Every structure is written in C-alpha cells, then in structure tokens.
Structure 1
Amino acid sequence: MPLSFNVQTNETAAQLVDTLRSAFNTPEEFRPAHARGILINGKYTPTSEAASLSKAPHFNQESTSVTVRFSNSTGLPQIPDNENDANPRGFALRFNLPEKDGRRQHTDIIAHSTPFFPSNTGQEFLELLKAIGGSGDPKTPKPTPIEVYLSQNPAAKEFVAAPKPTPASFATENYFGVNAFKLVDYDGKGTFIRWRITPDAGTSHLSDEEAKTKDPAFLHNEIQTRIIDGKPSMSLYAQIANDGDTTNEATVRWPEDRKLVKMGTIYLESVADDNDERQRNIIFDPVPRVDGVEPSEDPIIDMRASIYLISGKQRREAGPHH
C-alpha cells in the first residue's frame, strides 16, 4: 500500500527532524543537520558520455546554471569549521533547468564527504539517534545504548569508525552520493549509478593538529577567497553498478573497481547574494524529478526527501534569524 508507506515515512521523518533538532537545540530557521553552510552560484558543463547515459536536459545542453551548498555536519549553526564534529562535510548541487509550462524546474544531487552511511531505513536512523541521545551522561551504565546499537549494527559502526579528516578547503574534498539512481537514455536503456564529486585541484586534508590552528570560519572564508582568485572547479562522476550490485541499500558500498564515468564539470563562480536568506529558503530534493534520472528502490531517498521538506517548511515559517 503506497499510501500507508508514505504516511509512515512522513511520521518517521517528522520524528527524525524533532530528534535531530533536540539533539543540538537547533532553532527552526536552520537545518537540523548540516546547519552551517554557504551557497555558491556556478555552472555545469556536461561531457558527451553524460548525454549517452541520460536524456535529462542538463546532460544534453551546453551548460546549466547551478547552485552549490557546502556545509558542516550537525545542527549547530555556529559549529567551528575546524572542529572534528563538523565532519563529514555536505555537498548539495542544484541544476537550475529551463522553465516548463511557466514553472521553474530543477533537479538536485546530495552527497557527503564519506562513502559510508549508517542506516538503510529512517527507522534505523531514528534508533541510532536515540541511542546516541541516551548515552551522553558519563554515569550511563555500560554498555551504553550507543555501544549496544553499534555492536548490533555493523554499518553504523563502520560509518562511525571511518576516518573523516578535515579538508583544507571545501573545494579539496571528495563527496559521495550514497543512494543509487537510474540514468535513462533516449532509447529507454537504464544504468544504475552512484554520484561522486571530486575536486579538480586535488584532495587536501589537514591533520588534527593543523586543524586546531585554523580559524573557526576558515573553510567558509577560504572558499570565498578561492573563488575570487580563480573559479575553482569540481568533476561530477557516475560510478556504474555491475549486474547484481545492491542498489536499494545505502550502507552497501560498491567495489572500487567499478567503472567511473565523468559526467561533467562544476564551476564555482560567485558566492550567492543574501546567502543566509537563500539558505533558509532553498529545499534540496533527494528525489530527481526529471526525465532521464530515476530513483532506485532505496527507501532512504523518500525518507530524506520528507525530512528536507519538513525542515524546509519549518525554516520558511520561522523567518529570518534576529
């Protein structure tokens, strides 16, 4: 019954938003996760390989205007850029498509700076957050709820244990889309992929000691300087699934020997005007909603879409921060 699934998804999503907000005491005008970020205007130019894999407009026209949001983890709007908890970093990419029937169209890609993901369903993620919430007091008896949860959930344990170093720049980090999508070409042929975004300047990370010496806003300042100095760029890749690869579980990574197809280049051109206001109003959508890109059966895609929509409405209703 699709309807009951959607109701269930929305209920779980609402609980997740509430749980995330209460974990960080995040005000409603900010995102409950990845609260601190910066919006960049840019453009995307596709490769010929992109057009051969998908009939979507942005893969078939010369260039498309894009909006990029780099962000820090957690729901803390002022989390210092040099704090460990600000990893993994987020990367959201909006392709601003041509108008259709007088309405603005867009499609988005959402990624973060680790290929790992802790949960396959919204319910699992909610249980993880509750376990974290129940383990904060030093007097909590051992094993704590989070220790128990991680011992029973290997994917969450891998996600927590995976190295998450601080990047030297938002533009020297790799970003991974953990959900699978299906690209569809003009003949109707489908190809399952996962997105990757790599820095054309090469990756560069800081040691914990180097990060400690940095300014609390060093990443947000550095990306602005870098753009003024010379329009940095990033490459969009599609990691192609082999037959039999899992496409409906975000925690299952594909082997590194899977083919990577370069889909195009993202140029970072200017910092968006009215950055705070625009960040409050933009709601990125994990569901592609464009001809030529389809969601897989991964339940996290719909769950994330519901979470982003709920928190987006809350931000818009809360109004500007005073």
Structure 2
Amino acid sequence: MHRALLLFLFAMSLEPIGAASAQTCATPAVQAATPEELVDALNGVFGSHPGARAVHAKGIVLEGNFKPSSTASVISKAPHLQQTEVPVTVRFSNFAGIPDIPDNQGLASPRGLAIKFKLPDGSDSDIVAHSFNGFPSPTADDFRDLLIALGNSGAKATKPTPLDNYLTSHPVAKAFLTAPKPAPVSYGTLPYFGVNTFKFTNNEGLVTFGRYQFLPMAGAHFLSDDEASKKGNDYLNAEIQTRVEQGPVDFKLVIQVPAPEDKLDDPSIAWPDTRQIVELGTVSVREVVRNNDAAQQALLFLPNALPSGIEPQDPMIDARSAAYPISFVRRQK
C-alpha cells in the first residue's frame, strides 16, 4: 500500500498541472526547519523503516583510495589534497528511503555517492553527492515544505493537492521531479554532483569557491526503459560487485568553479557547463566491504566534516549535517 502511494506521488509529479492547481493558499511565515522536522518529513514521504536511512536507504559499501592531483594543493591546504594517497570508504545508493526498492524503479533515481576520506591524522572528511546536477529546493526550509507537500498529497487528497500548489509556485522543484533520470548501467557509469558550494583555501590564503563532481572514468552509460525493465531488483549491487572484481572503478574528483554572477548558496540552480573545472584527484573503488549490512549501519556521512582548508559556503551544508545524525540515531533503535 505504501509503495503504491509513492508510485502515485511520483506519477502525479510527471503530469501537467491543470488549471485548478493555479489556486494557491496564503503563504504562512516561513520558520527555520529543524533537523527533526527534516527527518520527519522524509519519513512522511517514504515511511519509517526500522534500521533504514530516512533517504537513500538501499545501498552498498566499498573501499578504495584517493590519489590527489598535482593541482589539488593549489586549491586547498586540506591534508588529503596534498601529495599523499588516503584510504576511502564509498557508499553507492538508490534515492528513496525504501530499503527494498527495485533498482529499476523510478524512485530509485537520482542515485547517491557518499565518500569518507581517512585523513593522515586519523580524522575523516566526507562528501555527499547524487547523480543529478541540481536540487529541488534552494534552502533546507523549502525542502522541508516540499516533502510535507509530497507526504500530504496521496491518492485521496483533494485537488488541487498540497503538491499541486507547491509546484505551481516552485518551478525548479517541478523541473527536478520531471527531469529524465534514466537507470544507469552501473553505479560506476554515473557522474555524481555535490550540489552545495564549498570555500577552498590554500597555504597562501588564496580562496576558490567550488562544487564537487565525480566523473566516471568508464564514461556515463545508461539503460533504455526497455533494458531497465528487464533488470533484476538488485542489479546495481550485483553489477558493481562484479565490476570491482575485474579492476578498480575510477572517478575523477573535480570542482566546478563559479563565475561572479553564479549563486553560491542556492543548490537548486546548476552552474553552466562552461564554468572552469579543476581536477582534485582520482577515487579508485577497489573492493566490496565484507559484512556490508553492518558496515552500512555503522556509517554516518557528514557534509560539514571538513579539515582546515575547506569550509561550508552554502548554509544547507550545515542543515544537512544536523539532520543526518537524527536519522542515524533512529535507525540504530
């Protein structure tokens, strides 16, 4: 029943909004979203599943290493961007907060990539990215409101639904929901985008702003709808396990540098592809972690877990980092 509701919500988001949905309610004063509200709102869309993340619930954990490029230290004095390779833990995932969602189902996209760099001093630094260059909301508060609208727009909701009204006044969210997100051949054949902006500072005090991108060395490869329909429910996990047995799965880690007119604090607006790209290094994913379920339960990724030389520039980074521990604690119960 719950999955049927989710499928309905997704299908509804793909339909043109009729004239009736042009009606809007009076806009209440916006209150800052608390971490608990963000997690509650995600559970309101996907349900609460014991032991599972509120979003990106289904995934797989692998290990490898990161080798910085010769240009990385020009961008930042962060320890993993100097001369030394560091170990990494990588988690690939489907989007929805449903632990058994089929890999070829619409709500499985965009896919996620979260990476934890093991720094020389024993600390960690994390990046959280997904396979779509953009985000449905400019702020954490707007994202909460979108999730609440989704959760309150089931099959029996009166038209115009809360989602109808929200999308009427939020065209970027509608564009995100309706944009094609084809199923990938592999987790290793997808580009991933860190949609939030960071401030990078090098040893000379030079500042560069940028957004992360992970570019697959194997190229970006997708399935047609017909090909995807013939895949098994767990084809991505099986495929990446086979792929790493044959050799490393490599990604170029780069940052996209904005032009003066680009917004630094609005992840819903993708910067043009013509912006400068600076290579930071190569992530080599080499093996699947044993006892994968236990590894996933133990992992917590925090986008604001940052060493000296990297700082949050977009306020959403700290908002996300405050919400993730709430989900982490809840799935341990």
* Structure-2-length-normalised TM-score: 0.88
Q: Equivalent residues in 2 for 1:140-289 (5 A)?
A: 140-289=157-306
Aligned partner letter, 1:159: F
The answer to whether residue 131 in structure 2 is matched with residue 113 in structure 1 is: yes
Q: Check the 8 A contact 2:117/2:125 in 1, yes or no.
A: yes
| 1:89 aligns to 2:119 (yes or no) | no
1:259-286 Cα shifts (integer Å, max 9, x gaps)? 1111111111111122111111111011
**Aligned partners of 1:111 and 1:175 also within 8 Å:** yes
In structure 2, C-alpha distance between the alignment counterparts of 1:107 and 1:243, rounded to whole Å: 28
Aligned to 1:4: none
Range moving further from structure 2, 255-264 or 13-22: 13-22
Query: How far off is 1:28 after superposition?
Result: 3.9
Q: Which amino acid aligns with 1:210?
A: E
Distance 2:318 2:239 in 1: 34
Contact 2:91 2:115 in 1 (8 A): yes
Distance 1:240 1:248 in 2: 14
1:302 is matched with: 318
The 3-state SS of whatever aligns with 1:237 is: strand
Contact persistence 2:150–2:163 (CA under 8 A): yes
Partner amino acid, structure 2, of 1:182: K
Per the alignment, residue 48 of structure 1 pairs with 70
Match of 2:327 among 304, 311, 318: 311
Q: Distance in 1 between matches of 2:120 and 2:97?
A: 33
Runs of 4+ aligned residues of structure 1 deviating over 6 Å after TM superposition are none
Distance 1:259 1:164 in 2: 25
Give me the whole-angstrom Cα distance separating, in 2, the residues matched to 1:28 and 1:56: 37
SS in 2 for 1:17: helix
* Contact 1:281 1:315 survives alignment (8 Å): no
| Whole-angstrom distance in 1 between the partners of 2:50 and 2:199 | 34
- Contact in 2 for aligned 1:55/1:184 (Cα 8 Å): yes
Show the counterpart of 1:5. none
SS state at 2:144 partner: helix
Between 12-21 and 219-228, report the one with greater CA deviation: 12-21
For the 8 Å contact 2:44–2:151, the answer to whether it is kept is no
C-alpha contact (below 8 Å) 2:52/2:331 kept by paired residues: yes
SS in 2 for 1:41: strand
- The whole-number CA distance in structure 2 between the counterparts of 1:309 and 1:16 is 12
Aligned-pair CA distance for 1:18? 1.7
Q: Secondary structure at the match of 1:135?
A: coil
5+ residue gaps, structure 2, are 1-30
Aligned to 2:95: 73
Whole-angstrom distance in 2 between the partners of 1:61 and 1:313: 36
The question of whether the paired residues in 2 share the 8 Å contact of 1:56 and 1:292 is answered with: yes
Q: SS where residue 205 of structure 1 aligns?
A: coil
Counterpart residue identity of residue 24, structure 1: F
Q: In 1, distance between residues paired with 2:236 and 2:243?
A: 10
Q: CA deviation at 1:122?
A: 2.0
Deviation at 1:180, TM superposition (A): 0.3
Q: Which residue of 2 aligns with 1:131?
A: 149
Separation in structure 2 between the aligned mates of residue 66 and residue 187 of structure 1, nearest angstrom: 27
Whole-angstrom distance in 2 between the partners of 1:233 and 1:202 = 10
Residue segments in structure 1 that go unaligned for 5+ positions in a row: 1-7
Partners in 1 of 2:291 and 2:309 — Cα distance?
A: 32
After TM superposition, the structure 1 stretch with the greater mean CA deviation from structure 2, 170-179 or 305-314, is 305-314
Classify the secondary structure of the residue corresponding to 1:156: helix
Superposed counterparts of 1:15-30, under 5 Å: 15-30=37-52
- Aligned-partner Cα distance in 2 for 1:299–1:183: 16
